[in-house]
Amino acid sequence: MQEQALDFDQLEVGYDIPARPGMALSQVQTPALIIDLDAFESNIARLQADCDAKGVALRVHGKMHKCATAAHYQIAQGAVGICCQKMSEAESFARAGIKDILLSNQVRDPLKIDRLARLPKLGCKLSVCVDDAQNIEALSQAAGKHGIELDILVELESGAGRCGVGAGQPALELAQAIISAPHLSFKGLQAYCGTAQHIYDYEGRKAAIDKTIEEAKVTKELLESHGIPCEIITGAGTGTYPMEAASGVYTEMQCGSYAFMDADYQRVLDEDGKPLLHFQNALFIFTSIMSVAKQGGAICDAGLKSQSLNLAFPQFMAAPIYAMRLARMSMAILLTRMACCAPMINCCWCPAIATRPATCTTIMSVSEGTKLKPFGPSLHGASLSKSWRL
Ligand SMILES: Cc1ncc(COP(=O)(O)O)c(C=O)c1O
């Protein structure tokens, strides 16, 4: 894994970073983000194997982690590149040495288009989505100005009611406009149905994604009947990728959340009504109890602004601890599952700590009074192996 150089001697624990590599988990200043490397690496391997088995490329979505260290690892394990959703993300990844980036969104602001057209000069292959003819003209001009060739995908509106043109004729017209524009190269279609990803029941999710797949298929066939091949059909997320991958229509999966997994995805069920357990939660907020003044409750030091609540509340990983005699304990440490992936810790840059819980021997649990004692397989005593800049 390519490491980003952090000079730990220049950083103060507590103020700049929550811990230094080599520290025990019990010494970590909370709240802190913890990455469980065993779970992370297992998630990466699992999706890569699924994509390889289905013969589709994996272009991981980087907006989920916004972390070049994670992206380099995913690419080293077989991903063809990354997606990102904003110019600033694309710039950060390109500067961090990522060589193949799809901006899976529209870029319209003239200054941002100019920044976009400069990125290939950093040595990365760049593609971007369009859903409007004027945007094609602006991208073509910027590419000409900077002496580059831009790869373009037509985005289909795939059920979210947001970006993208309708399937069929509107997409064909845009593809023809791209082919006619200098400095642009038409590569294919993006058809990502975000609203389907978190539909919990399998049948509902499948019905939504079948519609998206059908629209992508019909559009691809229409373009081909006009002599326009689609080299790439890209889309899919953690909730639906087995369907797109098996469709015979898609060439590329864009899954993002699978790498860290969020709490809400654990509610998404497979064909047999079981949770998608082949991916594990790998990102946690490590937090301490700071008050038990309220009878029957405990207040931890990771407030709302430390968490992302856009889909669900966090789940407590250490539920047995939480359920214990909270009123009598003076301090406990909880691992809280992230409810959604984007962490929002308040600092200008936010290191996450990477560790391997499986290598440790005990867990912190709360017994009567204020003592902590071992409680089964565990986290206490884990030593931190890395710090990742997000
Ligand atoms: C265009 C696009 N592709 C792929 C993804 C990844 O989806 P997930 O994080 O559910 O795997 C997203 C996430 O919202 C997205 O916006």
Cα-to-centroid distance, 144 and ligand 1 (Å): 31
> CB of 184 within 8 A of CB of 139?
yes
Of the segments 147-156, 273-282, 292-301, 366-375, which one has the largest average pLDDT value? 147-156
pLDDT, tens digit (0-9, with 9 covering 90-100), for 83-141 = 999 999 999 999 999 999 999 999 999 999 999 999 999 999 999 999 999 999 999 99
Atom index in ligand 1 nearest the CA of residue 241 equals 11
Average pLDDT score, the chain: 79
The answer on pLDDT for 60 being more than 60 is: yes
- 154-198 pLDDT, tens digit per residue, is 999 998 888 999 999 999 999 999 999 999 999 999 999 999 999
Give the confidence band of 5 by pLDDT, cuts at 50, 70, 90: low
Work out the average pLDDT over 373-381: 26
State residue 310's pLDDT score: 63
Check whether domain 38-260 has CATH 2.60.130.10, yes or no = no
Residue 120 CA to residue 92 CA, distance in Å, equals: 13
The residues spanned by each domain of the chain are 8-30+282-389, 38-260
**Can you tell me which atom of ligand 1 is nearest the CA of 197?**
10
Q: Which of 74, 101, 254, 268 to mutate to test the pocket of ligand 1 (most atoms within 8 A of CB)?
A: 254
Confidence of residue 300 (pLDDT cuts 50, 70, 90): confident
Among 59, 195, 197, 199, the mutation site with the greatest number of ligand 1 atoms within 8 A of its Cβ is 197
Nearest Cα to Cα of residue 205 among 165, 236, 234, 168: 236
CA distance 341 to 238: 12
CB within 6 Å of ligand 1 — which residues?
Answer: 61, 64, 83, 85, 104, 192, 194, 197, 237-239, 254-258
| Structure-model confidence comparison of residues 280 and 249, the more confident one | 249
Query: What pLDDT does 36 receive?
Result: 77
Q: Of all helices (H) and strands (E), which one includes residue 47? A: helix 37-54
Q: Return d(Cα 266, Cα 15) in angstroms, integer.
A: 34
* Architecture of the structural domain at 8-30+282-389: Beta Barrel (2.40)
Q: What is the pLDDT of residue 323?
A: 32
What is the pLDDT at residue 387?
A: 54
